[in-house]
Amino acid sequence: MPINKQRVIISVTNDLVTDQRVHKIVISLIRLGYDIILVGRILPNSLSINRTYPTKRLKLFFNTGFLFYAEYNIRLFFYLLFNSANIYLSNDLDTLPANYIASIIKRKKLVYDSHEYFTEVPELINRKNVKWFWETIERFMLPNIQYAYTVCQSIADIYYQKYGIKMSVIRNIPLCNISQIKSKKLLLNLKNSNIILYQGSLNIGRGIEQMIDAMQYIEEATFVIIGDGDNKDAIVSKIKNCKYNERIILVGRLPFNEIFSYTKLASIGISLEENLGLNYYYSLPNKFFDYIRAEVPILASRLPEIEKIINNYKIGCFIDNHNPKHIAEKIKYMLNKIHSGSGWDENLKKASKELCWENEELVLESIFKSKF
């Protein structure tokens, strides 16, 4: 524990409600003896938050596009400039400009947490000018960052090859003892006891639409979707227009401490990301570890980081393509295996015990305690 209590200002561009990774980082740093302020933004539809640590949510004029990122970084920069701190912790490339410039001006330590391979997200792949802008920021700033970590070894390897920056790996794994409250929206009296669950961002390339189409072939299950995102309207429209929509439930957005009460009800958790660029290809989604913590078998795409863990622990199956009939066949196979008693119970118990935040926290501790 630091001799003198140091303050860390942690910044993200989201509204803090569903960001489990950042919340766990905050709790871990508080446990290590740091004083924390978490900065995000507030949206018109943001849920209220009640945390045991100080938070600041910036209210912006612009909430999407270039003007949003510009306004957020300008406001964040002045917040950092006029508030005392010893260390800045920047989450992802979209908070880095403000943190990087402020750290130079105020001569403060800067730590960078890369939640994803930002310049390869699907939203940027076909937008050459926007992609070039973020790549320019990345090329200019990342090689000068001394302390950094990311979510998986594959992304760490890419950044080392590109910029010579050595990133530690801190995966977004749930706590062994999850602090949770029962959701007020908890599903009761479903016609089908078999729940196929997707939880996370409703963005393109997550396999949600294909899973909706697959439900026409799966009469013995209900597909439950938890989350919000840029593709929500398209998903809502697709559900509304299908003839079997009574077996598809869109719960919407929930605080992260309520989601686990749903996860535990699931028969199968899906992680069906399409290979839409390197960010998805090397992804290790939050929901993937949430399923494991709840001891729910997983149906997943064959992406390298996910495949390693499923094969290592033998806790689920893979799809070979995103054809809805193929997905339905895999779901039915898994349900039959679960109901026959030859499922993945013991393997999931082992994985849930070993894959917990308390182990990842040791990496965070080594970065902060040994460097600052």
* 306-353 confidence digits (pLDDT tens): 999 999 999 999 999 999 999 999 999 999 999 988 779 999 999 999
* The residue type at 86: N
Is residue 144 in some structural domain? Answer: yes
Q: Do 166 and 207 sit in the same domain of this protein?
A: no
Q: Do 335 and 364 sit in the same domain of this protein?
A: no
* Total domains in the fold of the chain: 2
Cα–chain-centroid distance for residue 310?
18
User: pLDDT truncated to tens, each residue of the chain (372 aa)?
Assistant: 444 689 999 999 999 998 889 999 999 999 999 999 999 999 998 989 989 999 999 999 998 888 999 999 999 999 999 999 999 999 999 999 999 999 999 999 999 999 999 999 888 888 899 999 999 999 999 999 999 999 999 999 999 999 999 999 999 998 877 655 555 556 656 666 899 999 999 999 999 999 999 999 999 999 999 999 889 999 999 999 999 999 999 998 888 878 888 899 999 999 999 998 899 999 898 899 999 999 999 999 999 999 999 999 999 999 999 999 999 999 999 999 999 887 799 999 999 999 989 889 999 999 998 766
Q: Do 205 and 88 sit in the same domain of this protein?
A: no
Q: Do 216 and 160 sit in the same domain of this protein?
A: no
Is residue 184 in some structural domain? Answer: no
Domain carrying residue 265: 195-354
* The residue type at 89: L
pLDDT at 188: 58
Is residue 189 in some structural domain? Answer: no
Is residue 212 in some structural domain? Answer: yes
pLDDT at 91: 97
- Contacts of residues 325-329 at CB distance under 8 Å and 24 or more positions apart, as own/partner, are 325/214, 325/217, 327/207, 327/210, 327/211, 327/214, 327/272, 327/299, 328/214, 328/215, 328/216, 328/217, 328/218, 329/217
Task: Give residue 207's region: left, alpha or beta (phi > 0; psi -120 to 50).
Answer: left
Contact 197, 300 (CB under 8 A): no
The pTM assigned to this predicted structure is: 0.86
Q: What is the CATH number of the domain that holds 344?
A: 3.40.50.2000
Contacts of 232 (CB under 8 A, 6+ apart): 202
Q: Do 366 and 258 sit in the same domain of this protein?
A: no
Q: Do 227 and 337 sit in the same domain of this protein?
A: yes
Q: Do 229 and 110 sit in the same domain of this protein?
A: no
Q: What is the tens place of the pLDDT at every residue in 200-253?
A: 999 999 999 999 999 999 999 999 999 998 899 999 999 999 999 999 999 988
Q: Do 107 and 234 sit in the same domain of this protein?
A: no
pLDDT at 249: 93
Is residue 29 in some structural domain? Answer: yes
Q: Do 157 and 279 sit in the same domain of this protein?
A: no
Q: Do 159 and 11 sit in the same domain of this protein?
A: yes
pLDDT at 3: 47
Q: Do 120 and 96 sit in the same domain of this protein?
A: yes
H or E stretch at 296 = none
Q: What is the largest CA-CA distance in the chain?
A: 64
